[in-house]
Amino acid sequence: MDSAAFLPPPPPPSSASAIGRPAAATGAARWRVGSAAASAFEKSGVSPKKLNALLVKAGRPPRDEAKWARAIEGSYLLVHAKLLATGDLVAFARATSDQALNGTVWDVVVDPSLPDVPLMRRNVVKYLLNELRRSVPGCSVTLFAQPDDVDFYTGLEFVADAEDVHGMALIEDPDVGFHS
């Protein structure tokens, strides 16, 4: 089962900032990571079909495309990276938030054929966290990590739940099980 990890809230910001959907929610902030360009908030730039292709490439099962479309639309923040040369999707993460107290990081996935997968994953997650913290100051951030990813997320200042709480999921088909 997955382990819960929490990122404690930061100290309050020195100046007040507006709480609500990030200003760039309909646009895109862009940066370059090696041979990939990364974008934040550009919901139109990620299709369910391309997300499923990335999941399969990373060894994860694909998901229903209609549900992906709803998840993308319902996300508070998105970050994705595409190769500059081909435009192929190579990394993705998203966050949900109540826009007051909590945020949750979901669906962090990186193409395993990239030359530095941990660096891309780190950059995508850090960018997502920075934007979440900027737009919802003081919020707690939660994610659920596979046991072999706990050290990676600890390096990003997440801490494993002290009481060893494990994520639980209510699923329609118990024979399928929970897959992240």
Task: Quote the pLDDT of residue 24.
Answer: 38
**Does the annotation count 127 as an active-site position?**
no
Rg (CA), the chain: 16
In the chain, the amino acid numbered 158 is F
* Ramachandran bin of 100, using left for φ above 0, alpha for ψ from -120 to 50, beta for the remaining angles: alpha
Task: Return the half-sphere exposure (C-beta side, CA atoms, 13 A cut-off) of residue 168.
Answer: 3
The predicted structure's pLDDT at residue 168? 61
The conformation of residue 166, written as its DSSP 8-state character, comes to B
CA 93/CA 139 separation, integer angstroms:
18
Contact indicator for 57, 111 with CB cutoff of 8 Å = yes
Q: Active-site residue among 41, 92, 153, 158?
A: 153
Predicted local confidence at residue 84, as pLDDT: 75
Domains present along the chain, CATH in parentheses: 23-136 (3.40.630.30)
d(CA 95, CA 124): 12
Per-residue pLDDT 10s for the chain (180 aa) are 344 343 333 333 333 333 333 433 434 455 555 666 555 555 667 899 999 999 999 999 999 999 999 999 999 999 888 887 787 899 999 999 999 999 999 999 999 998 889 988 998 899 889 888 899 998 889 887 777 888 898 888 888 776 766 666 666 665 655 554
pLDDT single digits (tens) 10-63: 333 333 333 333 433 434 455 555 666 555 555 667 899 999 999 999 999 999
Whole-angstrom distance, CA of residue 150 vs CA of residue 63 = 24
Contact 41, 27 (CB under 8 A): yes
Query: Six-digit token pair at 152?
Result: 């990676």
